[in-house]
Amino acid sequence: MDIPPLTNGYEIVYKKPQTLTDTPMHYCPGCGHGVAHRVLMEVVEEMGIQDRTIGVAPVGCSVFAYDYMNIDMQEAPHGRASAVASGIKRVLPDRYVFSYQGDGDLAAIGTGETIHVVNRGENILMVFINNGVYGMTGGQMAPTTLLGMKTTTTPYGREVKTAGHPLRITNLVAQLPGACYVTRQAVHTPTTVRKLKKAFRAALEYQQKQQGTCFVEVVSNCPSGWKMTPAEANKWLEENMFPFYPLGDLKLPAQSN
68 touches 37 (CB < 8 A):
yes
Using the rule CB under 8 A, is 20 a contact of another protein? no
Write down the least CB distance from residue 5 to another protein, Å.
23
Kindly determine how many residues on this chain lie close enough to bind another protein according to the rule CB under 8 A: 32
Q: What does the DSSP 8-state code read for residue 20?
A: B
In a 13 Å sphere around the CA of 214, the CA atoms on its Cβ side amount to 25
Give me the DSSP letters along 71-113. SEEEEE-TT-HHHHHHHHHHHSTTSEEEEEEEHHIIIIITHHH
| Least distance in angstroms from the C-beta of 21 to another protein | 8
Tell me if 176 contacts another protein by CB under 8 A. no
Nearest CB to another protein, comparing residues 86 and 145: 86
Residue list 99-118, contact with another protein (CB under 8 A) = 112-113, 116
Which of 16, 23, 46, 92 touches another protein (CB under 8 A)? 92
- Residues 42-77, buried b or exposed e (16+ Cβ, 10 A)? bbbbebebbebbbbbbbbbbbbbbbebbbbebbebe
| Least distance between another protein and beta carbon 57 (Å) | 9
- Least separation in angstroms between CB 230 and another protein: 25
Judged by CB under 8 A, does residue 83 bind another protein? yes
Closer residue to another protein (CB): 64 or 236: 64
Yes or no: say if 131 and 220 are a contact pair by the CB < 8 Å rule.
yes
Please, which residues have CB within 8 angstroms of residue 155's CB and are 6 or more apart in sequence? none
Build a one-symbol-per-residue string for 24-63: x at contacts with another protein by CB under 8 A, - elsewhere: --------------------------xxxxx-x------x
Element (H, E) at 190: helix 190-209
- Chain positions contacting another protein, by CB under 8 A: 50-54, 56, 63-64, 66, 69-77, 80, 83-88, 90-92, 95, 112-113, 116
